């Protein structure tokens, strides 16, 4: 099955990214079905489409870790705030955690981590709509198997506060 994304503009089509099936929980669905739901559980109104080959994730407001996490390498986090109005600024204030949770916070989304340590803020420029930061991971083999989680508070000016999706990565060799 190939992905078909019907969009009224190229900007809308750029709003979605494809993630491999292994990055999302298994769903009880036929191999060629598509379902619309909030797959990342952040409650921020993203449209997530499941199909046989992957997940189309709305990148309108999203955190993403595009590279494998391993000892001795940098861990990169991308913050997306797509299609904001001219003159707006989006700042993501990420927090690192070793523990997941799911606490609904009315008006903000779902708190998906137990925050342990703040990370430096990411300022998302417009019209690019994406900012990246990297953090070095110690070259310690005993870290293999440790899972790290990151979630951010997104501040939009003018706008308000929202909670981002949660990025979870397990250190591999």
Mean pLDDT of 16-29: 46
Chain segment 72-121, per-residue pLDDT in tens: 999 999 998 876 677 678 899 999 999 999 999 988 888 999 999 999 99
CB 91 within 8 A of CB 154: yes
Place of tokens 């099936």: 21
**DSSP notation for 101-149:** EEEEETTTEEEEE---EE---EEE-TTT-EEEEEEE----GGGTT-EEE
pLDDT value, residue 6: 37
pLDDT of res. 12? 41
Q: pLDDT at residue 18 above 60? A: no
* Domain residue spans of the chain: 10-58, 62-170
Confidence at residue 73, expressed as pLDDT on a 0 to 100 scale? 93
Lookup: tokens for 16: 């979605």
Tens-place pLDDT, residues 55-68: 666 666 788 899 99
CATH number of 62-170: 2.60.40
pTM: 0.73
């Amino acid at each position: 099955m190939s992905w078909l994304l019907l969009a009224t503009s190229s900007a809308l089509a750029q709003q979605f990214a494809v993630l491999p099936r292994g990055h999302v929980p298994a769903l009880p669905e036929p191999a060629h079905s598509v379902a619309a739901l909030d797959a990342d559980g952040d409650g921020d109104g993203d449209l997530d489409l499941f199909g046989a080959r992957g997940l189309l994730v709305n990148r309108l407001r999203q955190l993403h870790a595009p590279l494998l996490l391993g000892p001795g390498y940098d861990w990169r986090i991308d913050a997306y705030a797509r299609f904001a109005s001219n003159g707006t600024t989006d700042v993501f204030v990420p927090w690192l955690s070793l523990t997941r949770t799911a606490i609904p916070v009315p008006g903000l989304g779902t708190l998906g981590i137990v925050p342990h340590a703040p990370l430096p803020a990411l300022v998302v420029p417009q019209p690019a709509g994406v900012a990246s930061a990297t953090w070095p991971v110690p070259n310690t083999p005993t870290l293999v198997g440790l899972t790290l989680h990151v979630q951010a508070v997104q501040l939009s000016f003018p706008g308000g506060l929202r909670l981002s999706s949660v990025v979870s990565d397990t250190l591999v060799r």
